[in-house]
Amino acid sequence: MKEEFPTPSVAVDIITFSIKENSLKVLLIKRGVEPFKDKWAIPGGFVRIKESLEEAAKRELEEETGVKEVYLEQLYTFGEPSRDPRGRVITVSYFALINDEKSEQELKATADASEAKWFSVKELPELAFDHARILKYAMKRLRWKFEYTTLAFSLLPKKFTLTQLQKLYEIVFDRKFDKRNFRKKIRSLDLITPTKEIQKDVSNRPPKLYSFKKRIGEIVEILPPNK
């Protein structure tokens, strides 16, 4: 029997953020095949028949960049009919967050990618497909998550200083926060606990190290601490 409706293809795209060199960065791949060969794009690809969307996202990210074991959360579905010149392709986007320690893992571009590289969100190349739109939406959602959940802590090492935590928020929101108000708000939420350790290799008075004691992604109104 002839199908009444053509069947669209389903893809996944994974926007991976990290804080590196005091900058919010996103992981991009250079496409090794058409369409948009040699253009930079968000890692991703088509979903296989027998895998879930999340399985496809993890596989594509590892195949095209070498990055694995990341925090992964579904973002949004993009389905404009003309978004892909190959035909009707609906993509389910995810965002992944990895801290600086994990982001140091070697990037290995394979599959349809010829190169993988971290880019500052302030200095992006021209992107293939509708990936500029997807990335813009991902940035909006990332900031919302930082305001109302504990997601920010997934970008920190297991033990961190209050200065590191505040700097993380300032980088993501691209603005300064009042130190006293920020710390007062963080302490009032009972999110962190002091360890018995201090930060080493610093010239001035070494600050205390803290650890996070809640669940990543938990709903908590963290910001704005000084509005």
Burial class (CB in 10 A: 0-12, 13-18, 19+), 66: middle
Q: Is residue 93 included in any domain, yes or no?
A: yes
Domain boundary among 148, 165, 181: 148
The CA distance from 196 to 208, in Å, is 8
Q: Are residues 161 and 208 in the same domain?
A: yes
Q: Is residue 223 included in any domain, yes or no?
A: no
Q: Which residues contact 63 (CB under 8 A, 6 or more apart)?
A: 45, 110, 111
The CA distance from 76 to 199, in Å, is 39
- For 135-159, how does the pLDDT look when each residue is reduced to its tens digit (9 = 90+)? 999 999 999 999 999 999 999 989 9
More confident residue, 219 or 182: 182
Quote the pLDDT of residue 206.
82
pTM above 0.85, yes or no: yes
- For 10-52, how does the pLDDT look when each residue is reduced to its tens digit (9 = 90+)? 999 999 999 999 999 999 999 999 999 999 999 999 999 999 9
| Domain range for 176 | 151-212
Q: Are residues 101 and 162 in the same domain?
A: no
Q: Are residues 121 and 164 in the same domain?
A: no
Please report which confidence band the pLDDT of residue 3 belongs to, taking 50, 70 and 90 as the band edges. low
* Active-site amino acid positions: 115
Mean pLDDT of the region 50-60 = 96
